[in-house]
Structure 1
Amino acid sequence: MKKVILLLLFLSIFIFTTKAQTTLTRNVIASTGGSAQVGNVLVQYTVGEVAILTQQTAGILLTQGFQQPEFTISNIIVPAVGNMRVYPNPAVGRTKVDFDLFSDTKVLINLVNNAGQIVHSSTVSSLAGKVEYIIPLNGLASGMYHVVLYANFRTYSEKLVIQ
């Protein structure tokens, strides 16, 4: 074992002293990866190893070794609202909107007719958690409407039929 270690030491000294200057080239070699969806968020990842090429001769590749790259996640858009429901649907007199709010924020709730006119609007400020809001439908004509939520610069919509 000692002879092998000494031989490798002398071999590495010989290889490194024969070249005056060595250029290091950094490459990422992917070994696995995958993706997962959590709610409305798609997370994709690659697990790889960073190999820094130090010397290569006649079938022998000598690298600095196995290193894991830094793990960073950027530009992931987290939804503000999830599990939005409008019920009863079709509705008469009133309807209820409930949804999960993932962060403390203001939510603008609009009821929009098929002509694009806002026939009811309200703002709800709430802490993260389950939110329930009742929309009065008195005086509105029967037909198709859209319940539209605006939260954290995102839009969420469900259809509503008023009888």
Structure 2
Amino acid sequence: MFNERSEHEPEEYDPEEDLRDYEGEFTPSVRVPRAPEAPSVPDESDAPSELKYEFWTMVLVFNAAILGVSLGGMYILFRGNWDLGGRIFLGGVVFFLYGLYRYQTRTFGRDDDDGTDEDGTAGDDVDDGTEVTADAATTETEPDGSAADND
């Protein structure tokens, strides 16, 4: 009854009616590029079975280490049970150390570079700019790398 308009009432004023469409005028049109095709996923059977075995063994060892250290720590801190918590924590540390040892001793397909040169001697491949000659007493090395004679 009160919500109805009378026929003598003017139309309601719309404040946006006389405004320009700035959004349509000043918004730049953007061309969205297409995404490149995704590369194909390699087959899981590409890895050698020995490598897969070593990988999953390492995963299990380090998961056991994380579980032991965290669970043992929680038994110690929250329950005050040093006996059980300490054993579990120590077991986690042992698993972690075993995992580190096992990781360091495996090559995992890397080349066997033991730090020796081709002739079997332990070599230092770092060039420090000095020259070693047969007559070291009479020959010195200049900063530019040339040899200076002391004669």
TM range (shorter): under 0.3
User: Whose helix fraction is larger, Structure 1's or Structure 2's?
Assistant: 2
- With normalisation by structure 2, the TM-score equals 0.20
TM-score by length of 1: 0.19
RCO (CA 8 Å, sep 6+): is it higher in 1 or 2? 1
User: 1 or 2, which has the higher strand percentage?
Assistant: 1
